[in-house]
Amino acid sequence: MWINKGNISHLSFKNILSFKGSKLLIILEVINKKVIFFMIILQIYKGFSCHSFKKI
């Protein structure tokens, strides 16, 4: 992890977490959900295309 025993780096790390962390986490969560959703759709699409080719 980034957290060092030095007080200055620890304080700056805490400040980043408190101010930017909340917004960053929300953005990351939204991106993560979109990526997971896209991957699921991709898997379903691959499954359907494979099944349709097997039927032909």
Taking only the tens place, the pLDDT of each residue in 19-33 is 666 787 788 888 889
Distance, in Å, from the CA atom of 16 to the CA atom of 32, rounded to the nearest integer, reads 21
Residue 42 lies in a domain: yes
Asked whether residue 40 is assigned to any structural domain, the reply reads yes
The predicted-structure confidence for 3-56, as pLDDT tens digits, reads as follows: 555 555 556 666 666 666 678 778 888 888 999 999 999 998 888 876 666 665
| Domain that residue 53 falls in | 28-56
In a domain, 11, yes or no: no
Q: How many domains does the chain have?
A: 1
Q: Is there a domain that residue 39 lies in?
A: yes
34 inside domain: yes
